[in-house]
Homo-oligomer: A and B are copies of this chain.
Amino acid sequence: MAEFNETIHQPVRLRIMAALVALEPSDEVDFTYLRDLLGVTDGNLGAHLYKLEGAGYIAINKTFIERKPRTYVAATAEGRKAFQEHVAALESILKGE
């Protein structure tokens, strides 16, 4: 059976990973885009991103654009793999396997 992933299962993180994995591997999203998509606060999103980064599932890229700080987020190859495995584990559970 595919591996059920407690880190990814948490609702906000599941939605973050689903949004990132849907992108092309080389694409990243803006912090504020994710925050508005998920309807969470800056602090809440930051905490979940920190957890996902710690697990090696996302890469966070902080930069400046026109002197303003911007944060971009992308799924890593490891994060994509863990997400796909978690989805497979979920599907097994939901089918009652």
Residues on A lying within 8 angstroms of B by beta carbon are: 4, 6, 9, 11, 14-15, 18-19, 21-22, 87, 90, 93-96
Contacts and interface: CB of A to CB of B under 8 A. Distances in A.
B87 A22 contact: no
Number of copies: 2
Contacts of A96: 18-19, 21-22
Given A90-B90, A94-B87, A11 B19 contact: no
A14 B11 CA distance: 13
A94 B4 contact: no
A15 B19 CA distance: 25
Contact of A18 (B11, B18, B94): B94
Contacts of A94: 14, 18, 87, 90
